[in-house]
Amino acid sequence: MGGDILRTIRKNGLLLEKEIFELINSLDNNVLAKNFLEQIERVSGQKLITRNVLSNNIEYVRSFVGKLEGDEKGEIENVFVKLGISLEVRREGDVKIADNKERGDYKIFYSTTSNQKKLEVKDFTGNFRSRFQQSQRILMARQDLRRDLVSINKISSDRARLSVIGIVTEKHTTKNKNLIFKFEDLTGEIKAIVKFDNKEVFSKAEELMLDDIVGLRASGNRDMLFIHDIFYPDCFLHEKTKFEKESCVAFLSDVHCGSDRHLGKSFEKFLDWINSDDEAAKKIRYIFFTGDNVDGVGIFPGQEDVLNLKSMEEQYELLASYLRKVPSRITMFLCPGQHDAIRVAEPQPIISRKYAYQLYDIDNLILASNPSMVHLVEGKKEFKILMYHGASIHTFINEIRSLREMKAHRCPAKAVREMLKRRHLAPVHSEVVYIPDRDKDPLMISEVPDVLCTGEVHRLDVDNYNGVLIITGSCWQAQTSFEEKIGNIPDPCKVPVLNLKTRELKIFDFGDEKEIGRWM
């Protein structure tokens, strides 16, 4: 093995499983081997590189092997086969490679969704430890926090100015309207206070939720800290990717096939347009469906009374009949939501073949986990789209006063901004059902996307946060009795279309007035 590879292993503090070491050792090209190690660490977030790590990041592995040529490529493919890692296309499973025939214009990174053992308390504590370490690495890169940064157990009894990184474990308001928090890191815990009269910092502190991981500039000692400023991990997109060729992406959500309020005529209008000679329609190369593709069965009490299609098979057949009409030039990415035929706990695996076998025969449809990161590729350029159905949007609105006061269900992109600020899709424990992962919190936003697209709230909304475009999806369902009861007014049949060359966003309305009017 070349010296460069050994230096890479030592420099990055990597540990390699024996079989992986032999795989890297079999590469004659040291540059490729070094790049492989560095990239698999970046993509996986793991220092211990095992077969499971490669399997869980099979998209990157496959793209790496695809760059090899001749005998070297064949030899490496054989090594992977011996490791039990198939580089062939699979259309079902917790981690799969989706192949769009001969088009190498995207990469898809699935969430780790396997859960093959009984969950224990240590799985949840391990998940939080992993999340803390991921967030800590991001926060430590900030110049504002590097000065006087200490772990909590190193805070002395002498008053000093310092920085700490901690997770919020308690939050209280005193009779004088001050806010008192308890923060914890891997070494200990400490109380901290924000005075009511410090308006700027107090407004930041008010928005802190339990389980938020933040950096603090403060003064004080081990008995109490006085907070001077608060820093979130935060997302910053410093360079906006633009493609050379003009191609577009459409974003749809919450189709709710099978509901008696499903707007089928309106969806057919969209399909007619996507197949037309309209110049805007002809430029579309990708469509993202961000969950709740069907209405489901048994999702809530009495649902059978509001279903036109009473079984999952019928509902997915209707969905498949729509998707078959999408031109083959367009690649579709489709993730589940709470109404789909898969577990509710996040990350959600791809939709099960058991109930949605019809979807597996559509060649230009890529089934994705919820969440998933998709890189659209043009040459060396990659446009990154993070798709997440958005179950946690309600938590952000309920927990953050400013969002409640602005009635953010009507402008849900404001809630999605909070995900980007925290670099986490659902930070509050127990508010969203999730499957913990001791190695890497799968709901962390580890890579800053160009676009974060969601669904869930049934209202189209668009915003921009530090260069990241936020799109919350419209729906294809008229207002339900439940929505009417809670005052949620849907904004159906709107399709935002993003131009990857200009980053211009246009919104098209396919609502059939007569169909929608039936329910108003």
Domains in the chain (CATH in brackets) are 3-88 (no CATH), 122-231 (2.40.50.1010), 248-517 (3.60.21.50)
User: d(Cα 264, Cα 255) in Å, to the nearest integer?
Assistant: 9
Q: Are 387 and 370 in contact (CB under 8 A)?
A: yes
User: d(Cα 452, Cα 251) in Å, to the nearest integer?
Assistant: 11
Smallest CA-to-CA distance from 392 within 367, 375, 372, 370 is with 370
Q: Note down pLDDT in tens along the chain; length 520 residues.
A: 456 677 777 777 777 777 777 777 766 677 777 777 777 776 666 777 877 777 666 666 766 676 666 666 666 666 665 565 655 433 333 333 344 333 568 999 988 777 667 888 888 888 899 999 999 999 998 888 888 899 999 999 999 999 999 999 999 999 999 999 999 999 999 999 999 999 999 999 999 999 999 999 999 999 999 999 999 999 999 899 999 999 999 999 999 999 999 999 999 999 999 999 999 999 999 999 999 999 989 888 888 888 999 999 999 999 999 999 999 999 999 999 999 999 999 999 999 888 899 999 999 999 999 999 999 999 999 999 999 999 999 999 999 999 999 999 999 999 999 999 999 999 999 888 898 888 889 899 999 999 999 999 999 999 999 999 999 999 999 988 888 877 788 999 999 999 999 999 999 999 988 888 777 6
pLDDT reported for residue 8 = 77
Quote the DSSP letter at residue 351: P
DSSP letter string, 450-490 = SEEEE-SSS--EEEEETTEEEEE---SBPPPHHHHHHT---
DSSP letter string, 43-83 = HH--SEE-HHHHHHTHHHHHHHHHT--HHHHHHHHHHHHHT
User: d(Cα 454, Cα 456) in Å, to the nearest integer?
Assistant: 7
pLDDT reported for residue 149 = 92
DSSP letter string, 127-155 = HHHHHHHHHHHHHHT-HHHHTTB--GGG-
pLDDT reported for residue 89 = 38
pLDDT reported for residue 93 = 33
Measure the CA angle with vertex 100, ends 94 and 102; round to 5°. Answer: 135
pLDDT reported for residue 520 = 63
Task: Show the tokens assigned to 227.
Answer: 């907070």
Kindly report the backbone phi and psi dihedral angles of residue 155, in degrees, each rounded to the nearest multiple of 5, phi listed first.
-70, 125
